[in-house]
Each structure stands twice: as structure tokens, then as C-alpha cells.
Amino acid sequence: MENKLYNNELAFELATKKIDESRQGETLTVERPSTTASNGKKFYIESYGCQMNFADSEVVASILSQSGFDSTTEFTDADLILLNTCAIRDNAEQRVRHRLQHLQSVKKKKKGALIGVLGCMAERLKEKFLEEEKIVDIVAGPDAYRSLPLLIEEAETGQKAVNVLLSREETYAEINPVRLNSNGVTAFISITRGCDNMCSFCVVPFTRGRERSRDYESIVAEAKELFEKGYREVTLLGQNVDSYRYSKDPKLVGKKLVDAKYDEGVVNFARLLEMVAEVSPLLRVRFSTSHPKDMTDDVLHAMAKHPNICKYIHLPVQSGNSRVLELMNRTYDREWYMQRIEAIRNIVPDAAVSTDIITGFCTETEEEFRDTLSMMEFAKYSMSYMFFYSERPGTVAAKKYKDDIPEEVKKRRLQEVVDLQMKLSLEHNKADVGKTFEVLAEGTSHRSEEHLFGRNSQNKVVVFPKADIKPGMYVQVKVTDCTSATLKGELVH
């Protein structure tokens, strides 16, 4: 059963091109600015976990390149090796620990090489991490990346360098991120940092700090620059994008907005979406992640109004049962979530919805688990990210509730969720056979050099003949076949 679970989860993640196991350890290459003299040293960075971590790695690469470092894609050539880590699940942390053990050989062979741990895992474990992992020289939390040049200097003297201080202001707004050396078509833009939603199972508020929104002018400027460089899709990122609120007058941010437009100088997420969409009709706009309690109708109306705002919403449900949701401190119940699904269907009827699901949360009964399955049937998710509950030290759930569901029960329930989602995804995709979609070409198919892949507005991967199409071009594709994870089609000229 374990292998089946793993393969099904991975199939969904690969199919949607969300940050997934296939990208764990993906590296950056970046040209050092011509105005910055090289210090003769190279850095190598690997990213693990969520999209926010990959976006943060782009910020880190920019800071290091401005400090004179050159990048390399070979860790054996690096003077500085950085792992940008995730602490959301235990197996994410274990992957990093195993990777650190593998990297011990570098320190033995290359005198003076430094190894640093960044991100949520660094924040969660702090100095304890240096004690447990003897080869780690630098530990920097998500809000400490500006201090990396100083931390490196300190580590070069033989001292262990640590900065895991959280900030209420840091957004890295004026730092121009470098981009992953991938397709040059899609890019991430961080719009918020931190999280104020204290979900009882989650470590993010403790590892990334309080929520703060980035200046909307810098967000729009970054989108414009990306478009001018040839990018044709941006994804606005935040732990909870729907709670985005920015004003140059901090006193106004807490005031309630009456609509999606400017209200006394405050910009909310719906207005930000429109501002980015207005950069160009040729620039697609996606966003992730939404919280059901903050997914308001004005966001949906903005999506319906602008064709280039993609008709796709990732709306984590976690559980379909109201009592379990209350234990999770999700601040909504089953009925509220179902009303949000109905609103999406009414205002953006062609939207696809995906979700996150956790099975086996503390005290979850079999009947309550069945509520999750029935919610899946009601929402008809196009895909899901599915996990069994993994207790994280320091969270509210770990302090207040007993992790009392046997692991074999958690996994059995997860398998039922996976099986149902495979069925729903196949039905969802079969309904698209015969339809024609606008697809943004992203790159060559993994299975055939003669085919390209891209995504339609609903975030579904579409494979089609290469012909004379180049990445970054929009094409019309008629769907002729499908699997539960992919649409296959032919070009419509």
C-alpha cells in the first residue's frame, strides 16, 4: 500500500507542476551582475517544499550574486552549499537530514567549504540544528536572508553563524529575484510573507512569523519586468493570498473594504489581481494559496472579469467534517466551505478547484472521515494534495491533542482519498475531451521530444505536437484523449 500511495501522490504533483518531489533539490544558476566584482567563490542552492521556498531561493541567489558570488549547478564545485528547507511534514525534514549526510563528503574534499541550512527547518530547530548536524556552518531563517553575507563571513572564521530572527516588516520587496533556469515562461511573485492563521496542525506561523503584505507597486513593477523579459505567466504567492492588504498608511490596513477598488488608499487582493492582470492581456495571472474564510466574491468577480486571470483556485479543505475543522482551527465549517464552492460555480462556472486533504487527524472517527469523501464528491476537485496527519512538534495540536489514530488507519483512509481523487480527476478530464483550450506552451514533454506540454487556464497539463511552436507561445489545442493527470490533444490552426 505504501508504494501505491507514493506513486499516486507523485503522479498528481507531477501532473500539475506544483512544487513537488520531482523538483526537490532543484538548483539555481544566475549571472552575477556586471557591476559587482566576483569574489572568486561559488554558491550552490537546493530548494525543498513549497512554492514560497523556491521563490525565496531566488531572493537568496540575488543577494549572493550582489555580494560577488557566482553560481554553480554542481555542488562539488561550490564553496557555499545552501539547502532551503521545509518543516511542514516530518518526511520533508528527513530528506534534508539525509541530504546533509551525503554532503559530508564535500567538506572532507574541499577545504573551507561551508554548508548552510535556510528556511522553515532552520527556523524551527535553530541552534539545536547546529548541535545535531555537525557539518552545518550557517543557519538562517526566512526573514534573515539579507544577513547572509555577514553570516558567511562569520562562518569563514570557524564560528557557527545563526540568524533566525522573525520580522514584522521584511518582504524583500526591492530585491529583484533571479529566476530558476527553467523555461523562461512562468515565474513566481511573492505578495505576502508569514501567516496569521493558527491552524492547529501547522508550523508555518512559528517558522515564517506574522503575516505582512508587500507593497503593491513593487509587485506590479515586477510583473511588468517579467513580461518585458518574455515571461507570459506569473503566480502570486502567499500563505493566504486572499488576506493581502496594503496601504502606505499602516493605520488604514485594518479598516474593512467596501468593494474591490481603492478605499482610502488600501489595496486588497481583488484589486491587486486586477492591477497585475492589467499589465498585459498576454500575461496570465495565477495565485496560491487561498483560505476559504477569506475567499470573497470580489476575488471571484475579478477572475470572471479578466480573461487572463486563470480560472483555477486552490482552496484547501483539509477535512470535510465540521468538528474536525474546529479542532484544526480552520475557522470555517463544512457548510461555509460548501457555500464557497457554490459561489465559485455561480460566478466563475468554468473554474477548476483543487484542494489539500489530511486524513487521520486527532480523534477523527470513521464517520467523520466519510464526510471528507462526501465533500470531495460535492466539490468534484480536479486534483488534490493528499497526506495523512503527521504531528509537528510545537504546534497547537501537538500540545493539546493526542495523536491517537493508528498509522495503518491513517494510511488506509489516505488510500481511499487517493482512489476517489483518481476517479474524480479522470471524470474531470474526460469531460474536456472534444473541447478546445488556449494553452501556454512551457516546454518539451518528458516522454517525447516531438511533443510540447503546457497548461490551460484551469491548470491542467496539456500535451500536444511540437510542430513549429516555441515555449511562451499561446496555442489552441483540441483535446482528443486524457488520463487522470494529463490532457492530450492536437493543434488547431
CATH number attached to the domain at 16-163: 3.40.50.12160
Give dist(CA 439, CA 457) in Å, integer: 7
Please, are residues 235 and 189 in contact by the beta-carbon 8 Å criterion?
Answer: yes
**Range with lowest mean pLDDT among 91-95, 239-243, 428-432:** 91-95
At 296-348, the pLDDT tens digits run 999 999 999 999 999 999 999 999 999 999 999 999 999 999 999 999 999 99
CA dist 239 and 288 (Å) reads 8
Domain with CATH 2.40.50.140 in the chain: 436-491
- CA dist 430 to 153, 377, 380, Å? 57, 16, 13
CA angle 365, 370, 371 (to 5 degrees): 100
pLDDT digits (tens, 9 = 90+) for 98-119: 888 888 878 778 888 999 999 8
Where along the chain do the CATH 3.30.750.210 domains lie?
A: 183-310
Q: Contact at 8 Å (CB) between 177 and 62?
A: yes
Instruction: Supply the mean pLDDT for the chain.
Output: 87
**Per the confidence metrics, is the pTM higher than 0.95?**
no
Q: Where in the chain is the domain with CATH 3.40.50.12160?
A: 16-163
- Residue 8 has a pLDDT of 36
Confidence of residue 180 (pLDDT cuts 50, 70, 90): low
Kindly state the percentage of the chain with pLDDT values over 70.
Answer: 88
Phi, psi of 474 (to 5 degrees): -90, 135
8 A C-beta contact, residue 74 and residue 102: no
85-103 mean pLDDT: 82
What is the CATH T-level fold of the domain 311-431, as seen in this structure? Transcription Regulator spoIIAA (3.30.750)
SS3 96: helix
Residues of each domain in the chain carrying CATH 3.30.750.200:
311-431
Residues 6+ apart with CB under 8 A from 238: 52, 190, 191, 192, 193, 244, 287, 289
* Interval 458-464 mean pLDDT: 98
Task: Specify the higher pLDDT residue, 310 or 75.
Answer: 310
Q: Please say whether the beta carbons of 48 and 85 come within 8 A.
A: yes
Distance (Å) of CA 462 to CA 158, 225, 257, 271, 452: 51, 27, 39, 30, 8
Domain topology for 436-491: OB fold (Dihydrolipoamide Acetyltransferase, E2P) (2.40.50)
At residue 473, the 3 state secondary structure works out as coil
Query: pLDDT confidence of 94, banded at 50, 70, 90?
Result: confident
Give me the sheet containing 233-237, strands edge to edge. 186-190, 233-237, 284-288
What mean pLDDT comes out for the span 360-364? 98
Answer whether residue 90 shows pLDDT above 80.
Answer: no
* For the chain, counts of helices (H) and of strands (E): 14, 22
pLDDT for 11 equals 33
Q: How confident is the model at residue 294 (pLDDT cuts 50, 70, 90)?
A: very high
Q: Which three cell numbers mark 198?
A: 493558527
- Report the distance separating Cα 483 and Cα 276, nearest Å: 33
User: Which is nearest to 197 in space by CA: 369, 329, 95, 74?
Assistant: 329
Tens digits of per-residue pLDDT, 118-159? Answer: 988 887 777 677 676 677 899 999 999 999 999 999 999 988
> 320: closest CA among 335, 303, 298, 341?
335
pLDDT digits (tens, 9 = 90+) for 367-396: 999 999 999 999 999 999 999 999 998 899
Confidence of residue 251 (pLDDT cuts 50, 70, 90): low
Between the CA of residue 379 and those of 182, 338, 357, 428, what are the distances in Å?
33, 8, 13, 11
pLDDT at 6 over 60: no
Query: Bridge-partner residues for 81, per DSSP?
Result: 44, 115
CATH number of this structure's domain 183-310, picked from the four choices 3.30.750.210, 3.30.70.100, 3.30.70.20, 3.40.190.10: 3.30.750.210
Helix residue ranges, H only, 176-215: 204-208
